[in-house]
Structure 1
């Protein structure tokens, strides 16, 4: 288990799942994260799925039903994210297990830590690589690339140079350099 950049579960190289309780779905809608999360899910996985868990979608908060319907329509039509409604955690676990069995039936390959993004522009690929660094959001990736000019320059930047970018403090710069400088050791060797 680990924190994923996009989604909550990677079920295969093609399938990624974002799980939202009704409360979290509505809060994400209110604070503007919902559609960005759906877009990122769709850009990352060939088959993105959003699981909406729980009851009270239209009664939980004082959100106009048309706003909720609009978000649901945007997620499914604009971003092509499949949506599955479940009643509780147990049903969510069962549906995820069912999808995994079906998806990995013939595919015995290793599940990647980050899903492969579908065809992206050069600048999107550059941001994707930089966003893979610890603690780097989409906003910070853009700042780093704008400041340094290329992915390579970001990767070779010293802690001191990294700290010159707004939003990169001592701890974040230190962690980035730690990850970039450390010798790779396979989980099998640990």
Structure 2
């Protein structure tokens, strides 16, 4: 019962409570630049998508850690989740600075991602880690595309996304080192399709 309460509290904090970062925000030393209203809305939309992705990551890691069998895998998932909390804090603050808001669909994405994480863990640790590795690879690609799409003058958002990209790449490498299995192509394609739906909706809602 205590474990269930702890995990429920973690879910509530992820979706509804402000996140905190132990590391300095990557944009802390950068000055704010003037953006026109269209560029500001676009940047806020992209950062909302990134924040939503971090909400999903928390749920995935929570579900995967709950059902992981190997202690090393479980600890790696929890460590990755801890770093993702910092990403939550960075994107959360940047959205507010840009005059935007978080996605209204975050509770829905969290619930769905938690179910996926639990399922991945039940299949087995190698596949669990494989799901983590592929998720982080796809997130890395997504962040790289945002570095191209963000307004060139928005140095603060770009600094945040750049550091997130570095961290996600390291998470994928960690999973491979721990013995991640390579997911079959249909599974990768399904993950990309689901990600496209999530990003498209979160940009607007």
> Into which bin does the TM-score normalised by the smaller protein fall?
under 0.3
Structure with bigger helix share is 2
TM-score (ref. length: structure 1):
0.26
Q: Which structure ranks higher in relative contact order (CA pairs < 8 Å, sequence separation ≥ 6)? A: 2
With normalisation by structure 2, the TM-score equals 0.25
Higher Cα radius of gyration: 1
